[in-house]
Amino acid sequence: MAAGYADLLRTRHATRLLTGTLVGRLPNATAALGIVLLTRSQGGDFTLAGILSAVYGIANAVGQPLLGRAVDRYGQPRVMLPAALLSAAGMALFALTGPDPLPLAYAAMLVAGLFTPPLEGGLRALWPGVLNRADRIHAAYALDAAAQEVMFAVGPLLVTLLVAAFSEAAALLWIAAVGVAGALSVVTSPPSRAWRAAPRAADWLGPLRAAGLVALIGSFFFVGLALGSIAVASVSYADVHGGGMVSSYLLSALGFGALVGGVVYGARHWPGIPERRLRLLMVGLAVCYLPLALVPGVVAMTALAGLSGLFLAPVLACAFVVVDRHAPSGTVTEAFSWIVTAFGVGAAVGTAAAGPAAQYGGATAAFAVAGAGGLVALVVLLACGRFLVFSNLASRTEKDRIAAAEPGFSPTHQA
């Protein structure tokens, strides 16, 4: 297992691209906490902090597919680096002025979110050209998904340490600068500078004209909803089981489970077509969310949280492969960005839904939101299964489909 990942990371440019992308996405992983802490430190209430975070999140969701489309048309460096600088400028403006004057704070959050560079989709567009073999690409997707879980767990801790050592404003400024450095590392790499999307049809729908991708977007909205609700549910559970550290145990266990699942999944080549495998993995994800509503004691609950994360990274990794197979020519970065957007919007909705559920029904009701989200995600995927089987026939050539399915076959296009 370790040898396979070591071989992958020894591939020229692979470690630089993975590390740069993760570092470049650090502002996105820490924005919600940083915005809340700075707003509160300057006298704002939780309602204002939540609204500012929501402006950032909604702008981010809108910006990802738009910037992804621009990347597919103009290349990565010409879009991602200016976007990273503008996003960092917006966050720096908020760090220096705070929530007052309020219109300026809203504008800063809008710019910071809207121009967050689509590094996640960009990396997945680069992997085929860098790794050349389908088995390595599958492993890279799994390692990428697992590493994200670590980043989203470590990011808030980093913010907390920076605030303790310096200040809330300094924490936001430092993380914004680090994000630009990560994006710069990616876009100055030879694969990023050389990458060009395949020619695309002249229509405004882009990847949304592929029914299989629309099905994935719908399903992953509910996966995001499930994951977003778990964060609120964990806090509600901790309130009656020993305090705030308990919620950290649960969320850390979930992240650890996802890390283990992603590493194990990516360590071997799986037979069969990815679309069928994705449905099986989604069954596991949905089933593992359901026991959370039992809310047993802390030790058992921590174990259930770890179990609930086990299929998350494999589902994401397999979905990335499916996206690459179904994305119409010239739309791969935008296609990945739509999945990111669906997941993020779903997480925001899950957070909003779990709040009232926790208030009126306790942790059991809040965790039930996660279980329901997982089940609906599975139902959507199963109901739209015929699109996932056949839609790629209209969007890829025969050679491209073989390249996406068979190890050792190098695709002729870089996207």
Put simply, whether the predicted model's pTM sits higher than 0.95 gets the answer no
Mean pLDDT of 401-410: 38
pLDDT of 403: 44
- C-alpha neighbours within 13 Å on the C-beta side of residue 343: 16
Mean pLDDT of 57-79: 90
pLDDT of 1: 55
* Helix axes of 102-114 and 76-97: crossing angle, nearest 10 degrees: 160
Which of 12-21, 177-186, 207-216, 395-404 has the least mean pLDDT? 395-404
- C-alpha neighbours within 13 Å on the C-beta side of residue 310: 15
200: confidence class by pLDDT, cuts 50, 70, 90 = low
> Using one digit for the tens of pLDDT, what is the confidence trace for 217-243?
999 999 989 988 887 788 788 888 876
19 against 390, higher pLDDT: 19
Q: What is the DSSP secondary structure assignment for residue 391, as one 8-state letter?
A: T
| Res 288 pLDDT > 90 | yes
Q: Give the contacts of 360 (CB within 8 A, at least 6 positions apart).
A: none
| Res 289 pLDDT > 90 | yes
> Using one digit for the tens of pLDDT, what is the confidence trace for 96-153?
999 989 999 999 999 999 999 999 888 988 988 888 877 788 788 888 877 777 777 7
Q: Which fold has domain 204-415?
A: Growth Hormone; Chain: A; (1.20.1250)
396: confidence class by pLDDT, cuts 50, 70, 90 = very low
pLDDT of 221: 94
414: confidence class by pLDDT, cuts 50, 70, 90 = very low
- C-alpha neighbours within 13 Å on the C-beta side of residue 294: 16
> Using one digit for the tens of pLDDT, what is the confidence trace for 156-170?
778 878 888 999 899
| Res 308 pLDDT > 80 | yes
Name residue 323's amino acid: V
Q: Is 101 left (phi over 0), alpha (psi -120 to 50) or beta?
A: beta
Please state, for a pLDDT cut of 70, what percent of the chain lies above it: 90
Domain ranges of the chain: 13-125+166-197, 204-415
CA 54 from chain center: how many Å?
17
Structure tokens at 407: 């190890």
- C-alpha neighbours within 13 Å on the C-beta side of residue 85: 7
Structure tokens at 68: 């992804």
Mean pLDDT of 201-215: 76
Q: Is the dihedral of CA 206, 211, 213, 216 positive or negative?
A: positive
Element (H, E) at 295: none
Look-up of token digits 């329901």 = 372
pLDDT of 202: 58
| Calpha distance 280→282 (Å, rounded) | 5
- Specify the 3-state DSSP secondary structure of 411: coil
Identical topology for domains 13-125+166-197 and 204-415: yes
| Cβ atoms of 125 and 198 closer than 8 Å | no
| Cβ atoms of 34 and 94 closer than 8 Å | no
* Greatest C-alpha distance within the chain: 60
Closest CA to 395 of 208, 248, 251: 208
Mean pLDDT of the chain: 84
> Using one digit for the tens of pLDDT, what is the confidence trace for 250-280?
888 888 888 888 888 887 778 888 888 999 9
Structure tokens at 215: 């099905």
24 against 340, higher pLDDT: 24
| Calpha distance 9→97 (Å, rounded) | 42
Q: What is the DSSP secondary structure assignment for residue 189, as one 8-state letter?
A: S
| Cβ atoms of 186 and 20 closer than 8 Å | yes
| Res 412 pLDDT > 60 | no
| Calpha distance 414→171 (Å, rounded) | 38
Q: Which fold has domain 13-125+166-197?
A: Growth Hormone; Chain: A; (1.20.1250)
pLDDT of 201: 60
Name residue 159's amino acid: V
Which of 268-282, 292-306, 360-374 has the least mean pLDDT? 268-282
